[in-house]
Structure 1
Amino acid sequence: MTLYGVVNMDIVASRKKSKELREKIQHNLFEYIEYINKKFKGILVAPVELTLGDEWQLITLNPESSYNIIHEFQKLIWKDNFQFYAGVGIGTLSTDIYDDTRKMDGECFLNARKALEIVKNNSYSQKYIHSKNNRVFFYSPTMNDIENNLSIYKNEFDIKEVAATSKRDSQFHQNINIANLINTIIENNEILINKMTKKQQQIYLDYIELGTYRKIIEEKNTKETIGGISQKLNNAEFFTIQQNYKMIEKLFAYYCDMRRE
């Protein structure tokens, strides 16, 4: 069974922004989308494109990379005065593959739309999302009610959900739904990302680009010292954020493996 990852993204409060700012954002989005299409050409099923107003979506052959691609967009828009919601869905396709994502449909698209609906809708957010700093959500049809997450079951797609079981006694088990686990790590990571200052964001980007403190000083013509760069990266929780991305990628891969069994 072939599984795909779909991400639907939408600008936060776009209608409340001025006409000039909206035009600037849309102009920049075209550039960012072109960059993402080139960088991830090998794993994108079709080019990323704007779909409706200020929304855009992507479909990838590597569902485990979905959250990493979202972060690529986040890094691109840090210098701009806007943020976006992102809904992630994993599943099968029910149509042929086309160059236009709007011509495709299936479980992966339905799940991504549901995820975007949840992350944008306050009434849903009270149940699934606990921080206003989190604008990313992964939806799985097998998600248990978070407040009553005590059983494993199959849904209409016959998806087997993985759970870790801790036996307190012979009559009680507590099960951990993997989709809820993924969302918990995503939410904690998004909180860390949104706490970064502009200076921390710039050092974050420079370190990803160049890889060493000394190269940042030499090539970015900055007045920062090695100690100052190190402190900013640590204050930004850079290494924790990177570890979270690796863990989420592994959990998405595990989720897909369970689906294929």
Structure 2
Amino acid sequence: MIFVAKNLKANSVNLLMNDYAAGLPSPLSFIGLADVLARELGLKPWSARIIPILHAVHVSKGRKKPEMLPKSGKFSPIEIVEGITGSAEVSLIIDLPGFDDETQLAEALIGKRIAGGLIATTNITVRQVTADGSAFSGLRRGYAMVRPDDHRRQGASRGDLESLQQIASTLYPAEKGEGFGWIVPASVGYRLIEDPDTVPARQGTRSETIPHVFAEPLVGIAELLSVRNTRLRNASTEYLNDLFWGWVPNDDLITGHSAYFIL
């Protein structure tokens, strides 16, 4: 069994995924939300998985005000604001192994954040559903953000020109097969540039037990599939299970899905 949380609205959502992709909330941010829920509910950290369904995303106009400090008798900005924020309406399919309380999950979602944006919905509806394509029944129109089926679109780049060009060349294919969705660049993980076992201790980190490690972002491709697409509505338990985003460590890589590989 899995859970569906329907029609959540969040404001001031960060739509800047990483250095290479922007315009939608990052799929990795939804994994972060799932992990926060798992920890609050007393479940195993890093075990939660999630499929975000985007109903609407609106980009905010204008820029945020930079922080100011007095300097030479006048106030001057001390930072350059580079960001894209907006509002988002989403539903979530959540896998929380070992958990089965709809009411408790609904309560835990109140006041949480999606990509930094506070969930404004207070009357949250959560229901348990069967882990197959029927999970998408009853959802309003929207697009599930998932990893692409096509192996050629599962490559990820850490920023070198050649691999970025390979990804860009797959965004607009000459032919679209049956059940094809919208493909978009997306943040799909990180490559560690330090060894967690030998990295020096740093002050001001968020955790006393988890080391602070510098990493570089990975960009890949995500696919937006309509909740009415037959690939989703007719999904078997096995197929749906493979669509969930969740942290996958692999040597110096941490990706949001096991399908992604470095070009």
TM-score tier, shorter chain, comes to under 0.3
Higher strand share: 2
Higher helix share: 1
